[in-house]
Structures are given as structure tokens and as C-alpha cells.
Structure 1
Amino acid sequence: MKKGFTERDICTKFITPSLVNAGWDLHKQIREEVTFTAGRIMVKGKKHVRKKSKRADYILYYKANLPLAVIEAKDGEHSVGSGMQQGLEYAEALDIPFVFSSNGKGFLFHDRTGQSQKMEQELKMEEFPSPAMLWAMYRQWKGIDEKAEQVITQDYYSDGSGKTPRYYQRISVNRTVEAIVKGQDRVLLVSATGTGKTFIAFQIIWRLWKSRTKKRILFLADRNILVDQTMANDFKHFGDKMTKIKNRKVDKSYEIYLALYQGVTGTDDWKNIYKEFSPDFFDLIVIDECHRGSAKEDSAWREILTYFSSATHVGLTATPKETKDVSNIHYFGEPIYTYSLKQGIDDGFLAPYRVIRYTIDRDVDGWRPEQGQRDKYGNVIGDRIYNVKDFDRNLVLEQRTLEVAKKVTEYLKKTDRYQKTIIFCVNINHAERMRQAIVNFNADLVAENHKYVLRITGDNDEGKAELDNFIDPNSKYPVIAVTSKLMTTGVDAQTCKLIVLDSNITSMTEFKQIIGRGTRVNEEFGKYSFTIMDFRNVTNLFADKDFDGDPVQIYEPTGGEDIVPPEIDEGEEPEPPKDFPPIGGNDNGDEPGGGGNEVRTYYVQSVKVQVINERVQYYADNGELITESLTDYTKKTVKQGFRTLDEFIQSWSIADKKEAIIEELLEQGVLLDELQQEVGKEYDPFDLICHVAFEQKPLTRKERALNVKKRDYFAKYGEKARAVLEALLEKYADEGIEHIESMEVLKLRPFDQYGSLMEIIKSFGGKKQYVQAVRELEQQIYQTA
């Protein structure tokens, strides 16, 4: 009966009427063709494409914030259960309990809650369950009573713009609200940098506040800029109910309070502003970046949490800290939900990256001074082998700093000298020397504006004052920020495209935070990916199982200690005075610490340093870095899709547009632009693939164009059409096949001299004839294959 009906016909004529007849509100509860990911970004040189986004045929909602069911539809040629596996995959990702598949003849129902007698059962079209039936099953599954229901069904904030939380934000908010309503007073949420943690925090607070479950709320952050950004952006809807705690005199008439850890705690009693409030004043405390915890200078959120222990505490972080001494999980419990960097990149909400790893000779071999050798300040250098862990801390090889700055500058000149860049150094002293080196290698742009490169560290007021401008996508300067610790976390640099690692980073928490500086996507400013330049093998941490896995508690309490163990100091390292030699040392050649005053750092000018290896790695489909050579990876990937050269040539020949095959290869991780860098820019994608995957001798675009001209192929066309085709052939020779397949090219030079787009097409006899002529031209280009 339903053969010949398309999937859309099945939805319109059969599934939607069944839902409406079962009592589902067409406008409020039924959403069709719901796209819930953005589509993974695949970078192609300066361009990008997105893979197909994930889209559910139907999602059914009890209320706007509570999805209950996924329905996958299939056309009349498929069985009733054909869509079930896809539906289950979507339901698992979306945290939805009930799944249906339908071909218009009936429904297959899968109950993920385990309450039904059968996990899967077939239903007639008229037997689809009502909203009340599925909600009753949901309530029973979750153990929700009437009081909890009032809170759980409280709507999100909406400003009328149509913006709704992304699916992982909804899951984060719903799970947190539900846990709190059911009595859980410690909650940990893990969400990758750039995924909107403050928006999640706002919606959690809004729903608990509007339902009057929580009446007075404190939001804690560790950077002033974070508090100000939060108030101006996501939290602005609290209006005059919100205030920032700034000094000892506090106004207790507000309901939403925001504060710095440092602003309300301190070693001096007068700084302990939070004691102005009674211990039971706040119902809810949300701790942003809770992994940072208790650096020495800010004295810790734990002091505040201990004081307000009766409140519910929610910790937000991209990187829960787990060491033998420190544990977020020990305090908050296991994360109630984790949305990882890998998930964010796969969904297309976060930017993918590539890694360029450099090997420096002295880092590999180490360096040992000659007997009695002195540094530039006259200090005798302690006799031992110095390695990469010593460089820029105990020993400064000044040529090494110059070599790193030179490589960074070379990359910028090859790509974009105005791309926002963060260079992470060992300490403040190293950052200052790196700033000077970058200035000297980029003197032309620094002459235009001295803020082209700035040191932004904890001790430098001028640099810190420019942090907002570095973050602002509309602000051109500063372009390059040189830092050590200050910018590892909480800096929302949406347009940062280059991260340089020249610091010995061993902490997985710190590494994740640093990588998070580049993961944001900003389509308005063309930010779709970023590059990591690694000079210290820090990106080995990508291979660590803990890099993007579920956080596991490492700290094991031994009993008797504070419930939150003390954390390591993540602040800036104190530095020796600038422009002065290190104090102390002796002239006897003793090692530092072996008598006399210890020299903290030796400065050596004359040691030659060079990069001996450079390797590019790419983010693959499985979320791992491609470590094999690009040519080997390309060969393997292409042969998975095309077993023989003939198979590839046939697919290429019959394709209406070669761009479609190019984009398909790009989706598989074959980076043709990068391959051109290795094999040769003069080859087009066809020849690159034939050469790399099938070991054929490639022809350049100009050679292929010349072969076409020799055949006198254009003689059969009229004068104008012939001139247009010759110009298209020249454009192919200069730029590639993708640039001649769109009719839009006819609006550009030199084609505009032959008339308007319509006039040019007319000279071929019409659009159909023009398209056929271009296809024949492509056949001529690749004829020798």
C-alpha cells in the first residue's frame, strides 16, 4: 500500500497524523527534522567544508526543555524497524529514553528505561502512546514526585530570539537540576573549553531561581574578566537582581551575587568579605573553573565552600584536576555529565587542529659547558649536562629562543601575519626574551604598531590591560600574546588560530586548558581551525589515554585531612630582576648549590642551536592525531574508497563536478592542500591522488592545459565561446579544476570582457550547452589519463 512513498511522504501522510491523534501538540511538542550537531569541520587550506550534521526525523517533547522520544522514519520500501539502530544512536547521544522507528505501516517501540515487559515491541499506527503515558513512564523511571516535577518542568530562559541550548547544554542543565531537586548537594559538570559553560551555569541558576528552589545564589570565578564577561553577557537577564561583590561593604538585598575567589577571601582578615554573610545565606554556589581551586594567592574556594557548607555546590570545569594530592571528584563526586573536546570537534561545535612538531638539536643531545666556561654575566657555569627541562629555567641558550621566534615568524609569513597567536613560555623571564625576539623578527609590523606583540603576564600591568583587546575579535591589536601561566585558562580568545608551546608542560589539566584557547569556532571572523606549534614534545600528551577520556579520581584520602586537599600553586613563577645578571655564584667552577651563593640561571650566547626535524600531524576522524606521513595516510585512505587506478579514474571521469570528489576525499581526512605542499603546488587533485596512491607520474596543470591546446579542440566553437573556453583553460592551469566548475566564475575577470553571464551562456546556445561544453573541456584536460 505504501510502496512508492518517499520518507517525507511517510512523515506527512502517516506519522504526523498518528502523533496528533495520540494527543501530541503539533506546534509545541512535535519537532521534525531536528538538526542537533553542526557537522564536523574539515579544513582545506584557507577554505573549509562541514560533514553532514546529525538530524533526527522527529523529537517529541513533554515541555520545551524535556525531550521524551526520538522517531526515525523510513520510506515504504523499508521494514518498520529499519530506522531503529539510527534512532538508538541518536537517543543515546541526546539522553532521550524512548525510541520509535516507522515506515508508515506501524511503529517499532524501544524502551531504554527497561520498564516495559519487552524492550522492543511493534505498535499499530493508532497505538502510539500519548504524552501523558510517556511522561508517566519517565517520572517513574526517574523517581520524580509532584514537588520535583514543578522544578524539572520549569522552562529555560528565552529572550524570544529562538536561541535554544545545544543538546549537550540541555543535558548538562537537566541532569543538574534534576540531581539538585532530588537532594544531591555536590555536583560536577565537565564540558570542554568553548562549549558555553557560563551559558549552562546561567540556565541552571535561572531554572532553580525562577522555580524558587534556590533563592540566593553565588557565582564564583577566578578572573575579574570572567566575572565581568559573565555579567555583561549570559547573566545580564538577571538585571537588577544581580550584583558583583567588590568590597567589604555588601548589600544583602540582591539575589544573584558574582565574585572573585580573591575578592572574598584572603590571608588578611579584612579581606574575608564572605563572612559578612551568614553561613546559611546562600542556597546555591556555582564555582566556575573549579579545577583551579586553591592557588596560594587567592586562598581557595574551599574556604568559602566550607563556610557555606549548607548550600548546594556545583563545580564547572573543562578539566577536573586529578592528581595524587588534588581531586575535584573527591569533593564533588563523579561528573554528572561529560562533554569532551573530541565530541565537540566531531559535532562541529569546536575547531579541529593540526600540530607542527619541531625537534631542536640541543633538546635531543643536551649541552655541557667546557671546564670553567662562564656565562655572559661572568658566572662560572656548573659542570653537568643540561637538557630541555633546564632550558630557560636553569640555563638560557639565547640562540634557542631566537630559533623558536624565527620558526614562528616563518609560519606567520607563510600563512597570515595577523592571526591571533599565543606563545606559552617557561616563565615570565622567558616570555620577555621571547617577546624581544619576536619584535626583532617582525620589526616592520611592530613599527606600524608596537602592540603587534605584547607580553601578557601576571607581573605586567601594560600587557594585562591589553588582554580584553586580544580577546576582542574586532580588535586588530595585539596580534601576538607572549605569556607563561596567565592565559592558560579562562581567556575566551575566539579568533586565536595559532598556539605555540615552548614550555615544559606535564600537567594534563594545564595542557587541556592551553589547547582550549584555540578550540572556539567563530564563523563571522573565519575561525574554523587552529594550529599548534610544539617545540618541547608537549603534544605527546595527545596520545595519553587521559587526554580525552572520562576523568578518574586519582587522589585517595588517607583519613583525618581536610575534605578538599590543598592544591598546587598555579600562579606565575617569581622572577629575578630584569636586565640584571643573576646574583651570586662563585668562580671555582662549583655546581650551583655546591658552596657559595647559588646562581639561579646561566645565560649563554655563543652556543649554536638549530631545528633538525619538522613534522606535521593532523586531527583524524577517530579523534587521534595522524602520526604516519601524509602521503602514506593519503595512499591508505584513497585505496579504501578506490581499489584500483581504473576505479578512481572512472569515478573522476563520470562525476558531474570534480569538486564533489575532492570534498568527499577531504571528509575522509585527505588534505589535498597540505599534500600539494609536499608533492608540488603545480599539480591538481587528480594528479596528486594518481601519483601518491597509485604511483603514476603526475602532470602539472600547465602541462595538461598545453596538451589540450595542441589538439585544436576549440575549433568547433564560435569565436566568443572559444575565447571563453580558452580563458577557462588558463584559469584551470593557474588555479585548479574547482575554479572553473561554477558559473559564478563568468562574472570575474577576464570573462567580464566577453559580456554578462547571460550573454556568455547565450554564446554557447544556452545553459545546458554551456554545462556540456565545460564537461567536455574537463574530459579533454584529463584525456591522457
Structure 2
Amino acid sequence: MPLSEADTREKFVIPKLKEYGWTEENIIREYKIKSDRFYVKGEDYEIIKSPNKFADIVLKVNNIIVGVVEVKREDIPADKGLPQAIDYAKRLDVPIAYTTNGKEIIIYDRRIPKTERVDNFLSPKELYQIYKEWKGLEDKNLSPLEYPYYNDPTKKLRSYQETAIKRVIEAMLKGQKRILLTMATGTGKTFTSFQIVWKLIKSGFISRVLFLTDRIFLRDQAYEAYEPFKGARFKIESGKFNKNRQIYFSTYQTLYTDNFYKQIPEDFFDLIIIDECHRSRYGRWGEIVEHFKDAYHLGMTATPRREDNIDVYEYFGEPVFEYSLAQAIEDGYLVPYKIYKILTNIDIEGLDISQAEEIIYDDEINPENLKDFYLPSEFERTISLPDRTRKMCEKLLNIMNKTDKKAKTIIFCVDTEHAEIVKNTINQLTNNENFAVKIVHEDKNDLEIFRDSESNYPIVATTVDLLSTGVDIPDVKNIVFMRPISSRVLFKQIIGRGSRLANNKGFFRIIDFTNATRLIDEWDIPKPPKLKVEEIPEEPYNKIIKGYVIDKDTKEPIFDARVKIKIGRFEKETYTNKYGYFELKELPSNPLLNIIISKDGYVPLRRKVAPNEENYFFELKPIKKKPKKITVRGIVVEIAEEIEVEVNGTNVSYAEYKRYVKENIVKEIHTLEDLKDVWINDKKRKEFLDKLKEKCIDIDLIRDLEDMDEVDGFDIMAHLVFDVPLLTRNDRVNYFINKHLYKIDKYGRDIRDIVLSMLEKYKRGGIDNLSPKVLLTQDMKRKGALNKLKAKVKNIPQFINEIKSNIYELEIYNHT
């Protein structure tokens, strides 16, 4: 019987390493690379066991990771471990990775890169020399890198943190003065900075450090995080300064007061750490660090380079290490999110002030300055809308009541006055004056009570931006946007409040009333986990599932809905009758079967159900719900749009859904030419769209959510998958008229008029109106279209197909 992976490691690999000088002190077994991952399932979650969580062997020399070894069982070829070994080497930032089954050894050298079979392992001395040369450190004093980490019994250093620490110190050793560290909120930037400072101070490389923040509570959090330095720490407050310490903590504001920072000698600090440095250096930390210009400047941020923090990246340059929200979610170190996108009618359309029956303003406002129309960006800034606020609060409480009534919730408001109104509205609706609290100032009492996981109230905190950065409240499960956001940097900071790990928390909700989630990008979107579920249909095939499919809003039966039962390779389907009823017999005896219900105009539903003799009732959600209106003080406020996309039984964010759509389309369509070929062929198009619907992909859903009524399905997919310009049907018709209509003119004016009528129908209804069937419509019959075409055109289907081909001509992209 072949040896297990662990036995192979201990009986063959470890002894072989020791032959070449590696000791137990150098060898780290099962070094953790990542954790188990959280996966959202409806309003619940499951924990998915992550593959390749541990590197079998990590090789250390002088407390520095320099290599990694992937071990396979003795009966598995060694090269099967190569992808894992390479991944570990990249994550741990080492030049050499091995994969072995105890009999053969394969080395991967990242310096070249190349892979080859070898007989032996490199010795510690050889591998350490390779590492130093690869990093450009062969002539440097490596004592800061070699000094041991602080061993915190309550907090173990994670693999990516160790890589970040190495990168920062290596940059300093090579003389880089400005260094940037970019790590998503909740991934431990402060702890990472502490370990960096620990190694630098204890090795004697530097003597004094200044840790800068822009909030008192962030300064205090950092001070506590550096507790192992004990009496070497000092908080700079109100002009007080003690020159006999090593680690100093201050806010920008304290140092700016009376230009206090100028009273400190320019060469006093060796290292300045700028926390949350994504906030522009102009008017914040810029003058302070320039005063201490000879020190190393370490900037820490949770946001990648974006249009609203360019000056920060211009100052520091590219980050020496980056760890995104998406990567942290994939690695199991942060929880994923679920999006509720909810827009009122006036947030979509703006507010016509003539709708209001009552307008209240004080003597300071000139009535002549009142506008007839207000944009959503002006709501709660220049005009207060209590109706809208109340509707939003009602919807939020409705979501909380259905999901988790006690979930800690932070609401981001426009200003202090708005935060007060939202707080009061929630407390009125819950009939509990302690349910919500406003936190807009650094009132430690309110903040500490809200942070206390043992406290029953308050459950909701309203704020403006005080809680947008830095503050650590792991129990937060709902992040609510009631203020418009235009900054991607601020958006990432805000959602970071909900992503931290906590007990009994597997995801957090983003409840978006202001379309803030449009700012989600690749930094925030994790790749979907690989779920391995092998389902086998069980005999006997004598079970039944039956029931009704109804509209979730109207409760009316849905006719002709497709109902499919699937388990493993077994599939059986039927369609509902006019009463919405269906019945599927002779089904497998599995305790649970997968049911998939779909119908044009509805969000597909997928669930696991138990076969039984009772009728099921399934509700399908219309893609566009009919808004429920409420009129207060003469202003109509309604929930006009609520987006929740369901894919394979899981509610996903719209950004995730679009990526899912793209990934599945490219499995079927590889080029624009392929897409055109399928799209202009009626049979191929129908088969292709049916395949997409089976995968819960509905192009009409994207059209509705993106407000693209005038865009053809071809162009939605072409833009999403191939990144070509987004064209409307009108664009295509104009192109056809300019480029190809002259070809039609040879048939005479009557045929030209018929073609132009078909093009008008295409603009309104899409490619289905470019079909011989359209000639049988009433208006075409009145024109005598079919007879006129027969008289002039030999092959009508071919004639129409040529029109379709010209409309979807790819050369159009050369003219946009």
C-alpha cells in the first residue's frame, strides 16, 4: 500500500533535506497559506474547505522564508504538485520551489524561470545566497530581516503579512525612502506595521518612529496594538512631548496645532508611518512628513490606485505589496458581501418640486432661490426629504426583520443633520429610543457602547464619515448607503467596515439606496469558489414533485413556466398549465432534488426540495417589480428598483453576476465573428439563449438593470465580453442606411419603404423583427409588403438574411 503524503514527507523528504544541511529549526511543516472560505447561500452561508491551505514544508534561514517544498504521495508523479509549489512561491515571495514524491525532485526557479528534475536539494547556505542575490541584498546588513518576529500568543502572523513585512524591510534596506503598503481593510495593516517596527527597532536599524493618524480613536487603537513596546510608547497630546521614548503616536491635527511639529527636530524620527494615507497629503499629512524629510516614510492604505487618490501614489510610487479585498475573501481572511440595491423613484428621476404640497424653509432662504427641479445629489444637502428618509428606514428595518433583527448596522448619511433625522426616524419606527445612535464626533462612550458585542442596544449607528475608516467593529453585518458616493476610495473604506471576521458571521450586507455599488471593481470581486458536489440519482424512480408557480407580486398563476428536476445526470422537465400547476412523476428517491423554474420576465429560481405528495408553491420574482407607492405630504415616494440577482440558488451582487455572465458566454462564444454567426441565425440564436437561461443568465435582466432598452442583446454581450463600444439599435440602423441602403434602392421605392419599416420595427423590438414573419403583421399587410417583395425579390429569406448580416457588420466598430 503506498505511503500517505504525511508519511512520504517524514520518511523520505525530511531525511533528504537533512542530508543537505537543513535542521528542524529551518524546516516548518504545514505552513498555513490561507483559511477556509465563506460562501453566501441566500440569507445563510457555508464554510467551504479551501484546497491547498497549507504548504507542506517551508524552508527558513535566519528567520527568513527562502524556499517551499510541495510533497505528493509516493505513488503520485512529482510534477502534479508543481502548480501548488509555484503558487506558494509567489505568495511567499521566494525564488525557489520544489515538488517531490520522495523519489523524484523537481525544482522551479523563479529567477529564470525554469523547471528541471534534480537529484538533491540546495543547502541552506546556497538557498540563502540565491535569495539575497535575487532580492539585490547580497551586500546589505540583513539584521532587521533576520531578527525574530514578536511572538503574540493571541494573534498568529499570517502568510501574506509575513510577505508584506519582508517587502517593506527589503525596500528600506535597499535605500527606498518612500514605501507604500496596500492591504484591504480588516487584513491587519496595524499588526503588520507593528511587526515591521519590532524588527527594525530591536535589530537597532532605527531608533524612533512616529505613527500618524487623523482620528484620536485610531491613534489610541494603534497605541494599544503596539503594547509589547510598553514604556517605549508615547502619545503626543496637547503639545506634550517626551524625547526619551521610541514609538510616538499622534494625529495630524495635534501636530498642526500651533505648528507643533516644527518644534521637533527634523532628524528626530527615523521612520514615519502614515496610517490611512489614501486621504490626500495636501492639507493633511504632507507638510508634516516633509518636515521629517530624511526619515523613511511608510504609507499604509486599504485602497488601490484610483482617480481620487492619484497624488498619494505619485508621492509613494507603486506599493511594495498589495492584498486586495477579493483576495482576502478568496483566502478566507475576510467575509464576502451580499448586495441589496434599492432606489426610490425620485432617486432615479429627480424631484419635481411641484409634487410637494408643503415646502418649509426659514427666513434665511430667499424663496426666489428655490428651484423647480432637484437632482438626487442635492437630496439632504440643499433640500431635506423626510418622506424619502422614512421610506428608506422602513425598507431597511424590513430587511433586518427578515434576516437578523439584532445585526449591527452602520448607516452612512449626508451630514450631521441627516444622521440625526435618520436616527430619530429609526427610533420612532422601532418605538425604541436606544435602537439607533448617532456617532459623528469622537465620543468614546457612544462608540464603545456600539462596539460592545455584549450590548443589546444600540443596534444601528448613523454617521457621516467618522466610522468610514480604521475603527474595528467586527460584528457589523449591515453597511447602509443613504448618502451619494462618488469616490471609489471612500467606497472601499466604507464597505471595509463590514468585511471583518467575527463569530457567527459568514457575510455582510451592503444595503444601497444611492447606487454606490456602481463603484465596485475588480479589487472587490472574488472569484467564485469551486464547489465539488457529486450527486447520484437514487432508485427506485417512484417519487413525485408537484405544485404551483405564481407571480411573487400579484400572486397570479404563471402559465408556461419551465420546471426542471435535476440530480446528477438525471433530468426531467415539464411546463406549467394555465393554472400555474405542474406535476413531475417517476423521480429518483434522493431526499432532496434540485428544481429549476424559469420564465421570461422573471428571475430564475433554483432550490432543493423533498419529493412528497403535498403541493409546493413557488413564487417567481418579476425582473421589474411594480412599485408600491406611498404618499406623504404630497410627495410620492416609492421603491422603484430593487436588485437582487440569484444564480444557482445564490444571491450575488450585480457585479458578480456580470462576471458570471461573461465567464459562461466565453465558454460558448470565442470571437465577435462567432457571436454574429450565432446571433443572425434564428435557430442558433434560440439554442444559444436557451443554454444561457439554463445557467440562470438572462440578457434582458442586464438590459433592464442598465437601462438599455434601446440596445440589442448582441451589443450587450459584445460590450460585456469583448469590450467593444456599446451601440444602440438606432446606431446600427443609421450605419446600415449610410452604408447599405443604396443596395436596396435598385429594387425601387416600394421595397425601400418596406425595408425602412422593418428597420423601424427592429429599433423597437430587436432582431426578432428582422424575419419573414414580420411581413404578416397588419401594417405590413396594408402595405402589400409580401406581394411587392415577391414581385421584386427572388429569395425573400435570403434577402432578409443579407439585411441582418449588414446590420451586424463588424466593420461598424471602425466607425465608432
Provide TM-score, normalisation by structure 2: 0.64
CA distance in 2, matches of 1:324, 1:489: 16
CA distance in 1, matches of 2:377, 2:539: 53
CA distance in 2, matches of 1:696, 1:502: 30
CA distance in 1, matches of 2:346, 2:286: 43
Within-5 A mapping of 1:244-259: 244-259=235-250
**Structure 1: 5+ residue runs without aligned partners?**
549-618, 624-636, 654-664, 666-678, 708-785
Equivalence for 2:537: 649
Equivalence for 2:141: 148
Within-5 A mapping of 1:376-775: 376-377=360-361, 379=367, 382-443=370-431, 446=432, 450-458=433-441, 465-523=445-503, 526-542=504-520, 544=521, 547-548=523-524, 621-622=527-528, 649-650=537-538, 689-692=594-597, 703=612
Q: How big is each residue's C-alpha offset from its partner over 1:322-348, in whole Å with a ceiling of 9 and x where there is no partner?
A: 447851111111111100000000001
Equivalence for 1:122: 117
Aligned residue type for 1:156: Y
- Which is further off, 186-195 or 397-406? 397-406
1:197 equivalenced with 2:175 (yes/no)? no
- Residue in structure 2 matching 1:263, options 254, 269, 286: 254
- Determine if contact 1:373/1:381 at 8 Å carries over to the other structure: no
- Determine if contact 1:58/1:71 at 8 Å carries over to the other structure: yes
Q: How big is each residue's C-alpha offset from its partner over 1:501-553, in whole Å with a ceiling of 9 and x where there is no partner?
A: 11110100110000001010013xx22211111111111111x45x54xxxxx
CA distance in 2, matches of 1:696, 1:362: 30
Equivalence for 2:217: 225
Alpha-carbon deviation of 1:406?
0.3
Task: Pick closer, same or farther for the CA change 1:651–1:427 going to 2, 3 Å.
Answer: farther
Alpha-carbon deviation of 1:151?
2.4
Q: How big is each residue's C-alpha offset from its partner over 1:221-248, in whole Å with a ceiling of 9 and x where there is no partner?
A: 111111112222x200111111111132
**Structure 2: 5+ residue runs without aligned partners?**
542-566, 568-580, 582-588, 617-816
- Determine if contact 1:98/1:112 at 8 Å carries over to the other structure: yes
The CA RMSD measured in Å over matched residues stands at 3.2
1:9 equivalenced with 2:7 (yes/no)? yes
Q: How big is each residue's C-alpha offset from its partner over 1:142-166, in whole Å with a ceiling of 9 and x where there is no partner?
A: 222454222221111114x284311
- Determine if contact 1:39/1:348 at 8 Å carries over to the other structure: yes
1:19 equivalenced with 2:28 (yes/no)? no
SS of residue matched to 1:310: coil
- Determine if contact 2:450/2:459 at 8 Å carries over to the other structure: yes
CA distance in 2, matches of 1:74, 1:204: 35
Task: Pick closer, same or farther for the CA change 1:361–1:210 going to 2, 3 Å.
Answer: same
Equivalence for 2:288: 304
- Determine if contact 1:373/1:380 at 8 Å carries over to the other structure: no
Q: How big is each residue's C-alpha offset from its partner over 1:594-643, in whole Å with a ceiling of 9 and x where there is no partner?
A: xxxxxxxxxxxxxxxxxxxxxxxxx77449xxxxxxxxxxxxx99x978x
Q: Which structure shows the bigger proportion of residues in strand conformation?
A: 2
- Determine if contact 1:374/1:380 at 8 Å carries over to the other structure: no
- Which is further off, 363-372 or 5-14? 363-372
Aligned residue type for 2:277: C
Equivalence for 1:362: 346
Task: Pick closer, same or farther for the CA change 1:381–1:438 going to 2, 3 Å.
Answer: farther
CA distance in 2, matches of 1:110, 1:328: 37
CA distance in 2, matches of 1:487, 1:317: 16
- Determine if contact 2:450/2:457 at 8 Å carries over to the other structure: yes
Task: Pick closer, same or farther for the CA change 1:365–1:353 going to 2, 3 Å.
Answer: same
CA distance in 1, matches of 2:168, 2:281: 24
- Which is further off, 345-354 or 476-485? 476-485
- Which is further off, 482-491 or 310-319? 482-491
What is the number of equivalent residue pairs in this alignment? 562
1:33 equivalenced with 2:30 (yes/no)? yes
- Determine if contact 2:595/2:608 at 8 Å carries over to the other structure: no
Task: Pick closer, same or farther for the CA change 1:327–1:650 going to 2, 3 Å.
Answer: farther
Task: Pick closer, same or farther for the CA change 1:690–1:240 going to 2, 3 Å.
Answer: same
- Determine if contact 1:65/1:170 at 8 Å carries over to the other structure: no
Equivalence for 2:648: none
- Determine if contact 2:72/2:101 at 8 Å carries over to the other structure: yes
SS of residue matched to 2:298: strand
Larger RCO of the pair (alpha carbons < 8 Å, separation 6+): 1
SS of residue matched to 2:474: coil
SS of residue matched to 1:122: strand
Alpha-carbon deviation of 1:648?
5.3
SS of residue matched to 1:240: helix
Task: Pick closer, same or farther for the CA change 1:404–1:693 going to 2, 3 Å.
Answer: closer
Aligned residue type for 1:5: L
- Determine if contact 2:81/2:100 at 8 Å carries over to the other structure: yes
- Which is further off, 149-158 or 211-220? 149-158
1:328 equivalenced with 2:306 (yes/no)? no
1:102 equivalenced with 2:100 (yes/no)? yes
- Determine if contact 1:290/1:328 at 8 Å carries over to the other structure: yes
Aligned residue type for 1:34: Y
SS of residue matched to 1:396: coil
- Which is further off, 303-312 or 45-54? 45-54
Provide TM-score, normalisation by structure 1: 0.67
Q: How big is each residue's C-alpha offset from its partner over 1:299-323, in whole Å with a ceiling of 9 and x where there is no partner?
A: 4211111110011100001025644
Equivalence for 2:279: 292
Aligned residue type for 2:46: H
Aligned residue type for 1:290: C
Alpha-carbon deviation of 1:203?
0.7
1:243 equivalenced with 2:229 (yes/no)? no
Equivalence for 2:662: none
Task: Pick closer, same or farther for the CA change 1:162–1:107 going to 2, 3 Å.
Answer: farther
Equivalence for 1:215: 207
1:172 equivalenced with 2:172 (yes/no)? no
- Determine if contact 2:423/2:437 at 8 Å carries over to the other structure: yes
Task: Pick closer, same or farther for the CA change 1:381–1:72 going to 2, 3 Å.
Answer: same
Task: Pick closer, same or farther for the CA change 1:162–1:102 going to 2, 3 Å.
Answer: farther
CA distance in 1, matches of 2:145, 2:305: 30
- Determine if contact 2:309/2:489 at 8 Å carries over to the other structure: no
Task: Pick closer, same or farther for the CA change 1:165–1:224 going to 2, 3 Å.
Answer: same
Alpha-carbon deviation of 1:699?
10
Task: Pick closer, same or farther for the CA change 1:68–1:324 going to 2, 3 Å.
Answer: closer
Identity value in percent? 35
Alpha-carbon deviation of 1:451?
3.0
CA distance in 2, matches of 1:209, 1:265: 27
- Determine if contact 1:372/1:380 at 8 Å carries over to the other structure: no
Q: How big is each residue's C-alpha offset from its partner over 1:249-283, in whole Å with a ceiling of 9 and x where there is no partner?
A: 421111111111111113xxxx3222221111111
Task: Pick closer, same or farther for the CA change 1:498–1:193 going to 2, 3 Å.
Answer: same
- Residue in structure 2 matching 1:185, options 156, 169, 177: 177
Equivalence for 1:136: 129
Task: Pick closer, same or farther for the CA change 1:55–1:436 going to 2, 3 Å.
Answer: closer
Alpha-carbon deviation of 1:291?
1.3
SS of residue matched to 1:148: coil
Aligned residue type for 1:284: L
